[in-house]
Amino acid sequence: MNFIWKHRFFSRLRVFSLFRFTWALLFILGISLTIAIHPTPTVANPVALESRATITSPGSISLGGKWKFAPGYLQPDNAYQPTFNDQNWRSISVPSNWFLQGQDLSGVAWYRHHFQIDRSLKGKVIQLVFDGVDYTGDVWLNGHYLGFHEGYFQPFRFLISDQLKYGLDNVLVVKVNSPLEQPGKVWSLHKRIIKGVLNHHDTRPGGAWSVRGQEQNTGGIWAPVSLQISDRVAITQQQVTPQLDPRLQNGIAHVDLTIINPTPKAQTVKLSLQLQPTNFKATLDSPTIQEQLLKPGTNQIAIDIPKTNPHLWWTWEHGKPDLYRVKTEVISKNKLLDRSSTTFGFRTIRRNPQSQAWELNGRRIFLRGTNYIASQWLSEMTREKYSIDLKLIQQANINSIRVHAHIEAEEFYRLCDEMGLLVWQDFPLQWGYTDTPDFVTEATRQANDMVTMLYNHPSIFTWSIHNEPPWDATWMQYKYPDYNPKQNRILDETIYNSLRSHDSTRHLHFASTTQEHPWFGWYSGKWQDYGKPTKQPLITEFGAQALPNRSSLEQIFAPSELYPDTPAKLEKWKYHNFQPHETFDLAKVPMGKTTQEFIDNTQQYQAQLIQFAAESYRRQRYQPVSAIFQFMFVEDWQSINWGVVDYWRKTKPGYELLKRAYQPILPSIVVAKQQWKVGESIPVEIWLINDLYKSMPNSTLTYTLKQAENVIKQDSIAISITPDSGKQIDKFTFSHLAAGNYQLLVKVIDSQSNILGENIAKFDIEPI
């Protein structure tokens, strides 16, 4: 029995001895309090907060700030008692991952916090809400055990009205456990902790395959903690399903509400639901009013809100990401009992089963994407920091983001909604996991938590269950002696079947497989292999590593370590994710004689690979390619990896060439190779790709061949650009060119002389 299951078993045995008599009485009366008590009487495991709807009234009290903190191995098991002396404990900020607070540890840590609550709130419904605890948490209030929660990303809550001391000191205690996986050489194939790339990945401190790959743990109370206050009842979920008729002219916001009534008596209330524009101006419709009988315990209520001519949510290149807010109020005798709101968008998105193309609001859309891990320690990501990343993403002409094998903080999804960026959401399963029945059950529960928690975000268009599972990743047979080609197949099928009934509005992707991850020029083959036709409609990973700029490299290594010319230096570089075998032996990137040469060589290699691959896939749009996701956008810690933007958010040359290759209107240049001999004829193809639904007649394509500043040849072609198209525009040959370095510049200009897209190709002619 592993640590989590053993802990859960013994925690549940002692639950009733710690609950007040009133809770036991409520169970005897048959009252189900789903946010404080699990339906099984012997369990105190809270249900994850179903959605991150913001409770705006009657009130919310933040419990953030300075808490007391101590590593668990130094503390007795009675640290949850109110009388326990924590004066010698250190201070820690909440919310924050403990590593960012100078606590480099794994395993158990205790948090204690003292707070007061006004006497005037006695009799209210008060919930204690945690927005994120990594990885498990046991929670006590004033010595009363509230329950246990597992999962780093889900909010969870407890009803605590009866455990509070009004007008007096309250002691909140959380025992957090973020352990290491079981030791041994094969721990990484049989993981038990559902944290995806925050637990095992190439971009972790120490990398994926080092014995140090679990260092700099992500544990802690990393997201806000608060008290949510309402009167007599509480709204705990607002799930909104947008429905549109085939012509997109009439819509319905189907709202599923969860409201708890913690009293022993039924209550008749009035529900008021109103659609409100959030980022555009429009006349408000009258609220939808419904009288509702709330039985004791949990009440599930469905209400439809009709909307004529709804504003649609679009990606930034196809329209405006218009959003609505559903504002829900519970009223009794003109008194507001609770209020909640959540944001959503009217839109449809599907993957056409015949063409494999994605369709947003019935319009075919090509996905120009990237993979994204904001940080190993999510508490350092604020709305402002996410905004910096997402603006860089949008400026790079990216319209979709794959959240790679983890779940980001809430502000990320809100900003994607607001900015019109699509999100491919992975569940945090990365490579191999145990196949025990307990783990399958737990992973399925957490996957459903993910869907419910993020359901309302219009930006999310796909749920993907597992990244490179063992049953697909045959390369694991060379790494693990006990590799089983069927491993995790039942796990993924169980999750898939569960989620399929949970959300019918989005695509459900069984796994992100190795066939979707070509990795030419890095793990196999050479970068020119991207020029060959592919049979895969989805390319969810492609890229190469590159060193960051020197100023960033100097923040990672000491001056004597900036050039890894000894085994000791190289080991430190490998800890920071640098892959020497792939760089030198497979990609054959020359190291150069200086640090700056090394930086330039890796950056130029990454940049040319990204542009070449992206343009090749875009020329194959819908034949069969429908989506491409470059790997990786930012570096998620002080490392050397696949990011085109480093940890300090400084761009590499690969960023600029990704931006060029991802232009919505792209003149793509095909030159068979970069090195030619004098006397050879050089064939050139010019393609024009238009991802927009915009017709541009009377446009012009110009190309200019230059050697240094000398114009060798120049020509122009009159073209008419059709919407959502890609085709070869011209094909010609350069002959009789002298030795030298050449640049071919191509521009597309509309009838008003505006530049719609531009590109450049370089090649060299060597003397015989």
| 340 and 260 Cβ atoms separated by less than 8 Å | no
Query: C-alpha 707: how far from its chain's center?
Result: 45
CA pair distance 644, 631, nearest whole angstrom:
9
By C-alpha distance, which of 212, 165, 209 is closest to 189? 209
Bridge partner list, 651: 645
324-332 and 267-277 beta bridge pairing: antiparallel
Residue 738 CA: distances (Å) to CA of 101, 230, 671, 682: 62, 80, 17, 12
Q: Compute φ and ψ for 596, nearest 5 degrees.
A: -65, -40
pTM: 0.92
Bridge partner list, 631: none
What count of other Cβ atoms lies within 10 Å of the Cβ of residue 85? 8
- HSE toward the beta carbon, residue 530, CA cutoff 13 A: 30
* Domains by residue range for the chain, with CATH: 3-30+59-180+217-229 (2.60.120.260), 233-344 (2.60.40.10), 365-548+600-664 (3.20.20.80), 666-766 (2.60.40.10)
Alpha-helix runs per DSSP H in 525-665: 550-553, 567-575, 580, 595-619, 653-661
Bridge partner list, 760: 745
Contacts of 21 (CB under 8 A, 6+ apart): none
What is the model's pLDDT at position 185? 58
SS3 content of the chain, % helix, strand, coil (to 5): 20, 35, 45
Residue 714 CA: distances (Å) to CA of 65, 149, 701: 65, 67, 11
What count of other Cβ atoms lies within 10 Å of the Cβ of residue 590? 12
What tokens were used for 95? 């919310």
Contacts of 749 (CB under 8 A, 6+ apart): 699, 700, 701, 702, 755, 756
State pLDDT tens for residues 650-677. 999 999 999 999 999 999 999 999 999 9
What is the model's pLDDT at position 76? 76
Q: Which helix (H) or strand (E) element contains residue 299?
A: strand 297-308
Query: Euclidean distance between the first and final Cα of the chain, in Å?
Result: 71
What is the model's pLDDT at position 768? 83
By C-alpha distance, which of 360, 350, 361, 366 is closest to 462? 350
| 625 and 539 Cβ atoms separated by less than 8 Å | yes
Regions of the chain where pLDDT drops below 70: 1-58, 184-185
By C-alpha distance, which of 714, 688, 697 is closest to 752? 697
Diameter of the chain by CA atoms?
A: 95
Q: Compute φ and ψ for 52, nearest 5 degrees.
A: -90, 45
What is the model's pLDDT at position 184? 63
Q: Compute φ and ψ for 705, nearest 5 degrees.
A: -100, 125
What tokens were used for 588? 């054959």
CA pair distance 188, 182, nearest whole angstrom:
9
Strand order in the sheet with 297-308: 234-244, 250-261, 297-308
What is the model's pLDDT at position 337? 97
DSSP per residue over 369-417, as a string?
Answer: EEEE---SSGGG--HHHHHHHHHHHHHTT--EEEETTS---HHHHHHHH
CA pair distance 86, 334, nearest whole angstrom:
46
Bridge partner list, 729: none
Bridge partner list, 289: 272
Computed on alpha carbons and rounded to an integer, the radius of gyration of the chain in Å comes to 28
Alpha-helix runs per DSSP H in 405-506: 410-419, 437-454, 489-500
CA pair distance 257, 276, nearest whole angstrom:
17
Bridge partner list, 238: 257
What tokens were used for 318? 């196809």
Q: Compute φ and ψ for 723, nearest 5 degrees.
A: -65, 150
CA pair distance 397, 392, nearest whole angstrom:
9
CA pair distance 189, 375, nearest whole angstrom:
24
Q: For the chain, give me the number of helices (H) and strands (E)?
A: 12, 36
